[in-house]
Chain A
Amino acid sequence: MSRDPFTLSKKGIKRNMTPWLFLLPSIVILMTFLVIPIIEAFQWSFLDYELISNTSEFVGFENFQEIFTDDMFWMAFINTILYVAIVLPLNIFLPMILASLVNQKIRAVGLFRVLYYIPVVTPIVVGAIMWKMLYSQDGALSSFLVSIGIIDDPMNFLTNSTTALIAVAFITVWKGLGYYMIIYLANLQSIQSQLYESASIDGATSIQQFRKITVPMLVPSMTLVSILTIVNGLKVFEEIALTTNGGPAGATTTLVMYIYDKFIDLDVSIASAAGLVLLALAIIGSLIQMKLTNQREDDLRA
């Protein structure tokens, strides 16, 4: 059957329409609620946009100048980087240990996998309330640390400016442990058991096996976990908004808290400009991470 490229037959039109009919609902929804808002955010960052009156004026890079000269922005920027720097190593190594433990062929590991995964499916508001109680001055953590002599007096970890950021970061780590554990677990289960068998015949100890076989084989998961941690860590909001609300004295104000505060004040152009900085950071972070890992993978192969 020959096809005339210029006049489509009725059947041809129908065939060409079919994929678009499949895509239609998603495209309408994603266009309206995702693509258009993203494009608008780009535009707003170069406008002085009034949300209420719906009026705007082109201001070029003024919004960016304003945020780059705002001390609060830089404080939020540094806090965000610090936050990622605290979470990143914990997210890379703790779930790896968890995955190695629940990868053993022993009884009841299934139960432990479930128990470790539960924080992932817990609403973050509930998680924040639970940790807020644990961290409070009269809470369990403070009493425990006093009783074993690590701290002298009971303290609230969320209102102390030296501990607040670490305390909140740990909520993020807690929430993600199970998720990242599963990523590592899937990777671990793809490692051939012969590798371990021949290593033990050669007399390698468990720790040697972990260092020489497990860790190198887990590099792909480590990359993925790092990228996810960077991208998600830059976006951290709920844990902070619900526990410290950015305090004490801005010690836990992150970029997203900054964006949210600007949004609440209806400074939507400033919020959009800061949002673009956030997007840029996310892209740069993942690119650096990918580049570093490619390097490492090449080194390992060499």
Chain B
Amino acid sequence: MKSNSRQKKILIYILMIGITFITFGPFLYTLFISLKSPGQGIYDGLLPDDPTLVNFIDAFNQTDFLLYLWNTIIVTGIAVPLNILFSSLSGYALARIDFRGRSIVLTLIIATMTVPFQLYMAPLFQIAGDLGLRNSHIGLTILQISTAFGIFFMRQAFLHVPKELEESAYLDGANKFQVWYKVAMPLVKPTVISLAIYTFTFTWGDYLWPLINTTESSMYTLSIGLAQMSQNFDGGNLKLISAASILTTIPSLLIFIWLQKYFISGTADGAIKG
């Protein structure tokens, strides 16, 4: 019995490591390419013979990587706090305040979540142009500064806040905004953090909307910049592109690893309750 369960464990580990080659293998492959020296061909052998950081230095010096990074940081820096603020305000009203029209607003918000972006991207492009939001940082964030998903996600969390806590705050003379900010928000902190990471990863890696809404290369985000760099894939410097790809992934990766507990449980909650 004991050796049987030991064998089973070894089998499980072998399987798990095998799967790691599929999920994490492409990262290692790219990392190895990015570390290959000028003398070694891109596809010559798997490992770098003479590991060097020269491709990373070139990514900074020979491309507009820093500019793209800066644009991406600004766009993400606008989207994350605003989406949290606006989505939690709306989510709170929809979960905790009784008012006429509440269920209609909620139904409408949920209904929009099924509509593919590609259906309305052309009208959105025109609206962004009319409002002077093309080639601007704000223009790049309009899909993320308040999202139907965020509102719904926050509403689900506020539904679970105990009513008694709010009632005692009202007795102490607090108004609805104070109760939202001082009582309810601290209690849904894990959800707020998950929403922050969702908004971060989505905005950081978003491709289609920035592709449509930016025509000037000075406004490119990392996704667009990388895609442009890799356009001439066969002629392009793949080692440099690999280095830039690794650098682009690091911020997402660090934030995810730092807050993964919340992120993973948030995904599960969103999926199961939603």
Chain B hits for A275, CB < 8 A: 116, 118-120
Q: Does any Cβ of A come within 8 Å of B105's Cβ?
A: yes
Please determine whether B249 and A126 come into contact, CB atoms closer than 8 angstroms: yes
B53 to chain A, nearest CB (A): 19
Interface string of A159-182 (1 = CB under 8 A from B): 000000000000000100111001
Min CB–CB distance B87 → chain A (angstroms): 7
- Chain A residues with Cβ below 8 Å from B268 are 182-183, 185-186
- Please state if B127 and A139 are interface contacts (CB–CB under 8 Å): no
- The residue of chain B having its C-beta at the shortest distance from the C-beta of A179 within the complex is B267
B219 at interface by CB-CB < 8 Å: no
- A interface SS class: helix
B93→A19 contact, CB < 8 A: yes
- Complex contact B12–A101 (CB within 8 A): yes
Q: Are A38 and B120 in contact (CB under 8 A)?
A: yes
Once A101-B19, A125-B207, A238-B208 are accepted as A-B contacts, the answer to whether A38 and B112 lie under 8 Å apart by CB is yes
Give Cα A25 to B131, complex, Å: 17
B23 close to A (CB within 8 Å): yes
Which residues 82-102 of B have a CB within 8 angstroms of A?
Answer: 85-87, 89-90, 92-94, 97, 99, 102
Total interface residues on A, CB under 8 Å, equals: 86
Task: Judge if B148 is at the interface, Cβ distance under 8 Å.
Answer: yes
Instruction: State A136–B252 Cα separation when bound (angstroms).
Output: 27
Specify the main secondary structure of chain B where it touches its partner: helix
- A26-34, A63-71, A81-89: which lies at the interface: A26-34
Report which of B22, B122, B123, B142 forms a contact with A29, defined as CB distance below 8 A: B142
Given contacts A26-B151, A36-B127, A279-B115, contact A123 B271 (CB under 8 A): no
Q: How far is B24's CA from A122's CA once the two chains are assembled, in angstroms?
A: 11
Q: Does A148 contact B (CB under 8 A)?
A: no
A102 / chain B contacts, CB cutoff of 8 Å = 16
Give the interface size bracket for B toward A.
35 or more
Q: Nearest residue in B to A238 (C-beta to C-beta)?
A: B207
A129→B99 contact, CB < 8 A: no
Instruction: Select from chain A the residue with minimum beta-carbon distance to B131.
Output: A32
CA A113 to CA B265, docked complex, whole Å: 12
Please state if A130 and B122 are interface contacts (CB–CB under 8 Å): no
> Quick one: which of B13, B122, B126, B146 contacts A25, CB cutoff 8 A?
B146
Cα A27 to Cα B176 in complex, Å, equals: 19
Q: Which residue of B lies closest to A173 (CB)?
A: B22
Known: A34-B120, A35-B112. A130 touches B245 (CB 8 A): yes
A269 CA / B195 CA spacing, docked (Å): 35
Determine whether B77 belongs to the interface, using a CB cutoff of 8 Å to chain A: no
Q: Are B123 and A41 in contact (CB under 8 A)?
A: yes
Whether A16 lies near B99 (C-beta < 8 A) is yes
CB of A75 within 8 Å of the partner chain: no
- Asked if A123 and B24 make an inter-chain contact with CB atoms under 8 angstroms apart, the answer reads no
- Interface contact A29-B223, CB-CB below 8 Å: no
Q: Give the distance to chain A from B30, nearest Cβ to Cβ, in Å.
A: 5
Does chain A have a CB within 8 A of B63? no
Verify if B121 is at the interface (C-beta below 8 Å from A).
Answer: yes
Within the complex, the shortest CB–CB distance from A44 to chain B, in Å, comes to 7
Q: Is A216 an interface residue (CB 8 A)?
A: no
| Neighbour of B24 across the interface among A29, A38, A115, A238, CB < 8 A | A115
Tell me if B97 and A129 are in contact (CB < 8 A). no
Given contacts A41-B122, A113-B264, A179-B267, whether A130 and B89 have CB atoms under 8 Å apart is: no
Verify if A76 is at the interface (C-beta below 8 Å from B): no
Q: Does B171 sit within 8 A of A, measured CB to CB?
A: no
Known: A23-B105, A125-B207. A242 touches B87 (CB 8 A): no
Residues 171 to 205 of chain A near chain B (Cβ within 8 Å): 174, 177-179, 182-183, 185-187
* B contact residues vs A (CB 8 Å cutoff): 8-9, 12-13, 15-16, 19-20, 22-24, 26-27, 29-30, 33, 42-43, 46, 85-87, 89-90, 92-94, 97, 99, 102, 105, 108-109, 112, 114-127, 131, 142-143, 145-146, 148, 151, 176, 180, 201, 204-205, 207-208, 212, 222-223, 226-227, 230, 233, 238, 241-242, 245, 248-249, 252-253, 255-257, 260, 264, 267-269, 271-272
List 23 A-B residue pairs with CB atoms under 8 Å apart, sorted by A's residue number: A29-B86, A33-B142, A37-B121, A37-B127, A44-B122, A51-B126, A101-B12, A106-B9, A122-B205, A122-B249, A129-B245, A130-B29, A133-B29, A133-B33, A133-B42, A133-B238, A136-B43, A140-B29, A140-B43, A143-B43, A174-B22, A186-B272, A231-B114
Q: A122-B252, A130-B245 given. 16 additional CB < 8 A pairs? A: A22-B176, A23-B93, A35-B108, A104-B12, A119-B23, A122-B249, A123-B207, A126-B248, A129-B230, A140-B43, A143-B43, A177-B23, A186-B272, A237-B118, A271-B122, A282-B114
* Nearest 3 A/B pairs, CB to CB: A123-B205, A275-B119, A186-B268
